[in-house]
Amino acid sequence: MRKKREQIAYVLMVSVAEIEPKIWRRFIVPSSISLKKLHLVLQTVMGWSNYHLHQFETKQGTYGTPDPDYSAILDEVRIRLDRFLIREGDQILYAYDFGDGWVHELQLQQIIGPIEGDVTIECLDGGRTCPPEDVGGPHGYQEFLHAIRDRTHPEHANMLSWVGGKFDSEHFNAKAINRELVSGRRRA
């Protein structure tokens, strides 16, 4: 009988920089996950829609989707996360939507394993809702929150209409995120 392969699991913490109180998630991935797949996991756990460019900023370089006009971006497709995050506490940055300038701090919190079999990607917990796409970065998000919370604000109705009528900045639902992670695995 063939022995199942052993893997290492990483518990990661991601939080959006420049936002207080923090918008954050703790989730588990295999240490061997590629940066390309990690990008898709981050889009799901954070609640982004994958409409914009992204990159990972590491001590060894900047990784993302290569652009022939910008040679500083290294191809992320076959680059494993465990190349950069080796010890608990190690960090890299994940930037999304260069126009809005969302920067995410990604930290290795715990190393689990070796374990037999596959590591299940799962959101363990988190806090607060992801900002809407194209809200204008951290500063625009603060303005957006002010407008939707103040019925007398001149942009109150427009902003609520723009996000579909309601927005709860404190909402977090790990079960919904995990359902999305499962459905995403089926498509991959």
pLDDT at residue 2, rounded to an integer: 56
Helices (H), the chain: 35-46, 137-149, 156-162, 174-187
pTM here is 0.93
Q: Is the pLDDT confidence value at 18 over 70?
A: yes
Strands 122-127 and 102-116: unpaired
Percent residues over pLDDT 70 in the chain? 96
Percent residues over pLDDT 90 in the chain? 86
Cα separation, 188 vs 186, in Å, equals 6
| Domain boundaries defined on the chain | 6-128+172-183, 130-167
Report the candidate in 84, 90, 86 with the shortest Cα–Cα distance to residue 13: 90
| CA neighbours closer than 13 Å in the CB half-sphere of residue 72 | 6
Class level of CATH domain 6-128+172-183:
alpha beta
